[in-house]
Structure 1
């Protein structure tokens, strides 16, 4: 009987944890969480990143390659806050992996670890692509990355206790170096405080809150709605009374409205990577913010990117 009970317990453990000799299979919905998982997981994880910085993550198709990776995953790391609402539910249904289904122990939402900004007071389809839980683009503030790293470490330890010491040690090293890096970025970015900008899309609330940048207009009349000529003219008129220093946009976004505005307003543009891989030198998280600060400062000096 004791042997039978031991056998049953071992079988149950095999269903809920990853063998000590195997790498934890992580499915990252966005590049930032893939990069963070690699940093915290080291050789104890194998990471698959479902999207790239050159894609609009709101609009992803659950292709067979994504479905196959979802089926094999031990842990899914996504932004949440309904950023992936257009494709993740279909992927989870087709992938049929109970370990990482939303709400399961193997499913992690980064947005739950931070204070959400721009939470709407009303929900109406006429307002465009509005997220009920707030602006989901939390990765543009490195202080949020630090908060997510702490929570993700706890999740890694939970789902893969055999490598807990390694996860904790890598987190401690990351937290120390990251805090130093954030201080450096804030020092470099001091000239940006109070600077007025135009945004191509409502992508930058957390970046602006961190650096003290002021958004005076957006090229989209409503989030997710391509800018019309009439609205672009309205923004241009606004800039006559509320001058801005630059137009800020993400690497995946259409340059044409940006060029229309910068050409007529006589201001620079700052193409920001938005996620790891959005520009040369941004494959790692530190590079993401190095390049972001550099491009903002370049635009402040009148140099477009």
Structure 2
């Protein structure tokens, strides 16, 4: 009897999905839909998701994965293919099987018909930092639940139930966030990269300048001097950087313009308040409204 119970428990454990998330926001989303799954995030909110080393530990985790969940839109193009090759896990090589790109399930912003090296670190498939649009994230959640159900049909009802619960709580949170952020509409900011493009689009914030002269190019002295001139127009609310970006250019500009510099969490774990997707949104909107 004991051996039978042991075998049953082992079988149940093996039935759990093993999820490899490229970024912590997708680990958090997977956790909402499949709380019993084994979920591993390849990066933290303190890491630039464009730049990841194909470490042996990541290779080992991908080798064990049933499902790989990534932002897509070529955000991980510099490191994911190498991991896939070294892991030799055919289950997660194709989106026909266990590979999932969030960007393929929404309409991305800023698609480009033509890209060349002179343009810097841009993405032809659109801006991949889509997790700061709650409406698009709900579309991703629905698609991810379907993917999980396809990979684990026996767990389909459970994934659907968790998706329904997440959807209810998420849809209740959206109008509260929008009401809290209503005063941000029309505000202007200087930010680093296009990291918060979806957040700004959702809340009606205008990014009037970028700390990068070109995407992926660190701020230069001449570029920062131009931003000082732009700031003197008096309509900029704040300078924004993410939790993993170099703050030196932002601090230099802030000191010369008396503008506040906000370090916003880019993802779950980006600050002590951001422990899941809901608190990530809470934290970012609260930080922004405190300086408007």
Which of the five TM-score ranges fits, normalised by the shorter chain? over 0.9
User: SS at the partner of 2:167?
Assistant: helix
Q: Which moved more, 1:124-133 or 1:235-244?
A: 235-244
CA distance in 2, matches of 1:126, 1:143: 33
Question: Of the candidates 17, 23, 30, which is equivalent to residue 37 of structure 1?
Answer: 30
SS where residue 42 of structure 1 aligns? Answer: coil
Distance 1:58 1:227 in 2: 18
Tell me how far 1:143 sits from its aligned partner: 1.6
User: Aligned partners of 1:140, 1:225: CA distance in 2, in Å?
Assistant: 23
What's the CA shift for 1:103? 3.3
The answer on 1:295 being equivalent to 2:278 is no
Using the TM superposition, give the Cα deviation of residue 174 of structure 1 relative to its aligned residue in structure 2, in angstroms: 0.6
Q: In structure 2, what is the Cα distance between the partners aligned to 1:74 and 1:126?
A: 38
Distance 1:243 1:40, change over 3 A: same
Structure 1 residue 252 corresponds to structure 2 residue 278 = no
In structure 1, stretches of 5+ residues that fail to align are 1-17, 301-305
Instruction: Tell me how far apart the structure 2 counterparts of residues 107 and 179 of structure 1 sit (CA, whole Å).
Output: 27
Which residue is 2:157 aligned to? 165
Aligned counterparts of 2:261 and 2:232: Cα–Cα separation in 1: 17
CA RMSD, aligned part only?
1.3
DSSP-derived class of the 2:217 partner: coil
Q: Provide Cα deviations, 1:112-136, integer angstroms capped at 9, x if missing partner.
A: 1111111124312111101110111
Q: Distance in 1 between matches of 2:226 and 2:270?
A: 30
Whether the 8 Å contact between 1:111 and 1:138 is mirrored in structure 2 is: yes
CA–CA separation in structure 2 for the residues paired with 1:118 and 1:46: 34
Q: Give the secondary-structure state (helix, strand or coil) at the position aligned to 1:278.
A: coil
What's the counterpart of residue 48 of structure 2?
A: 56
Quote the residue 1:5 is aligned against. Answer: none
Moved over 6 A (4+): none
Query: Which residue of 2 is the match for residue 125 of structure 1?
Result: 117
In the alignment, structure 1 residue 276 sits paired with structure 2 residue 250 = no
For 1:241, the equivalent position in structure 2 comes to: 233
**Equivalenced residues, count:** 282
Encode CA deviations 1:192-226: one digit per residue, 9 max, x unaligned: 00000001111111000000001110110000000
Alignment match, 1:10: none
Which secondary structure does the structure 2 equivalent of 1:245 belong to? Answer: strand
Counting only pairs closer than 5 Å after superposition, residues 136-215 of structure 1 correspond to structure 2 as 136-215=128-207
Distance in structure 2 (CA, Å) of the matches to 1:129 and 1:111: 17
Per the TM alignment, residue 274 of structure 1 is displaced from its structure 2 partner at its CA by 1.0
Distance in 2 (CA, whole Å) between partners of 1:122 and 1:75 is: 31
Aligned: 1:71 with 2:63: yes
8 Å Cα contact 1:20-1:162 kept in structure 2 = no
CA distance in 2, matches of 1:149, 1:215: 28
Quote the offset at 1:102 in angstroms: 3.0
Give the secondary-structure state (helix, strand or coil) at the position aligned to 2:63.
helix
Give the structure 2 partner of residue 28 of structure 1. Answer: 21
TM-score by length of 1: 0.90
Does the 8 Å contact 1:216/1:242 carry over to 2? Answer: no
> Where does residue 80 of structure 1 map in the other structure?
72
